[in-house]
Each structure stands twice: as structure tokens, then as C-alpha cells.
Amino acid sequence: MALEPIGAVNALYPSLTVIVGARVRGKANWMTVAHLGVMNHAMGNIPQYLGISAHPSHYTNIGIREHGEFSINIPSRAMLEVTDYVGIVSGKTTNKSDVFPILEGELPNAPMIATCPVAMQCRVAQKVIVGEHELFIGELVATYAQPEVLVDGKIDLVRVDPILFDFRQMAYHALGERIGKPWNAGKALKEQRKNPQSAA
Ligand SMILES: Cc1cc2nc3c(=O)[nH]c(=O)nc-3n(C[C@H](O)[C@H](O)[C@H](O)COP(=O)(O)O)c2cc1C
């Protein structure tokens, strides 16, 4: 087996499929987003930032630009059909405000989906134009979770049962099995390489 060049193909999939919420012209609007990420991770009291890449032609962007707020809702596999729906129909032509029951939180213009297992509210801290897209970097303000997805107070991915997105094969996937513990799976190798004699 050997690696062969296949062109500059973005192979950073799967990504998480989420539904971004915003208030546009007084009404909640929802759009599917799979190009998003963690901009930094929690360290003490430093704010946490999440980025979503949204094409400026989308109706949702109007609300995010106007109010500087958005929500990120994580649907479960059971919500696959409606998750895809809000990603193929635009608020420009169809009212999507009644598609989900709404949960209002700390930020009045970042409506959340009450039936998602997890939802977060973000306040826009920066907007960066990347290629043709608007990258909204939001400071995480609040997180909500259904009690059923928490184990010892922590979000359990297996219980969330998120939808993973693959742009290359145009496919949705479910989560695979748990295969190890981060910052731990490499420990034995670290010791072995520090002291190769001890492994013999
Ligand atoms: C699986 C999936 C993932 C998507 N990911 C993104 C994305 O990351 N960024 C984006 O701008 N649009 C993305 N879209 C497209 C928008 O969700 C879609 O154009 C939507 O209709 C926009 O709605 P709006 O005009 O009401 O805001 C995605 C669509 C699907 C189905």
C-alpha cells in the first residue's frame, strides 16, 4: 500500500451535521451546517469560540449579521429527515419558523430547537470572509442538553446519536464504536520510546 496524489481534495470528513438557528425579520429560521468547528478549547475562564461557515446568500445569514447571535443545535439520527429538509429549503421562499418547537435561552435572537438533544447559543465575536463564505466565530454563551443524554453530568455522544456528514461520498453516517481514551492511548508507546530497552 502506498499513498498516491489525488489532487487537493478536502478530506477532513466526517464533520458534525448541525442546525444553525437565527432570528430573521422577527422569525426563527433554521439551516443545516456541516462546515463548522471548535476554534479553541476551554481553558480556565477563557471564552470558548465556535465557528460556522455560512454562504452569504443564505437567509439565516441576514439574521446573524443583524443581531450578532446564532444557535447551534445538534440533531440526533432520529431527526435526519428534517435536518436535511432545512438544508435544502430556504427561508427566502419558505417559512421554516414552525418546523421545530423553540427554546428561548439567554440570547433573544438565537432561538434553539427544543427537541434536539443538545443546543448552544453563541454571540458573534468576529466575522471573517473565507473564500466566498462568511465564517462567523461565536463566543459560546450557553449550552442546553436533554437530561437523557447526560452521564454523570457530561454529554454522552452515544446517547446524542449525532449525524455525521461526508461531502466526498455525499452520505450521512452514524457514530462508530468507542475505541480508546484520548491522552491515554499513546502512553505505553511514549514510555517504550523513552526507554526502548525496557520493551525488549
Ligand atoms: C448536509 C448539509 C450541510 C450543509 N452545510 C452547509 C454549510 O456548512 N454552510 C452553508 O453555508 N450551507 C450549508 N448547507 C446548505 C444550507 O443549509 C441550505 O442552503 C439552506 O437551505 C439555507 O437555508 P436559509 O436560506 O433558510 O438560511 C448544507 C446543507 C446540507 C443539506
Q: What is the mean pLDDT of residues 13-23?
A: 98
Residue 196 banded pLDDT, cuts 50, 70, 90: confident
Neighbours of 125 (CB within 10 A): 16
Hey, which residues does 43 pair with through a beta bridge? Answer: 46
State if residue 123 touches ligand 1 by the CB under 6 angstroms criterion: no
6 Cα: distance to centroid of ligand 1 (angstroms): 27
For the chain, the first-to-last Cα distance in angstroms comes to 29
State which ligand 1 atom lies nearest to the alpha carbon of 54: 11
Q: Which helix (H) or strand (E) holds 112?
A: strand 112-113
Mutate to test the pocket of ligand 1, among 32, 80, 88 (most ligand atoms within 8 A of CB): 32
State if residue 20 touches ligand 1 by the CB under 6 angstroms criterion: no
121 Cα: distance to centroid of ligand 1 (angstroms): 18
State if residue 54 touches ligand 1 by the CB under 6 angstroms criterion: yes
180 Cα: distance to centroid of ligand 1 (angstroms): 33
Lateral strand order in the sheet of 171-173: 15-16, 164-166, 171-173
Q: Which residues neighbour 41 within 8 Å (Cβ) at sequence distance 6 or greater? A: 48
Instruction: Say what the pTM is.
Output: 0.97
37 Cα: distance to centroid of ligand 1 (angstroms): 15
Residue 198 banded pLDDT, cuts 50, 70, 90: low
Phi, psi of 183 (to 5 degrees): 60, 20
pLDDT tens across 134-158, in order?
999 999 999 999 999 999 999 999 9
Contacts of 125-131 with C-beta under 8 Å, sequence gap 24+, read 125/47, 125/49, 127/65, 130/53
**Domains along the chain?**
15-199 (2.30.110.10)
Q: Does position 200 have pLDDT exceeding 70, yes or no? A: no
Residue 197 banded pLDDT, cuts 50, 70, 90: confident
Q: What is the mean pLDDT of residues 186-197?
A: 92
State if residue 88 touches ligand 1 by the CB under 6 angstroms criterion: yes
CA angle 40, 44, 49 (to 5 degrees): 25
Please tell me whether residue 102 adopts helix, strand or coil conformation.
Answer: strand
Whether the CB-CB separation of 53 and 134 falls below 8 Å is answered with: yes
139 Cα: distance to centroid of ligand 1 (angstroms): 21
191 Cα: distance to centroid of ligand 1 (angstroms): 46
Whether the CB-CB separation of 81 and 133 falls below 8 Å is answered with: no
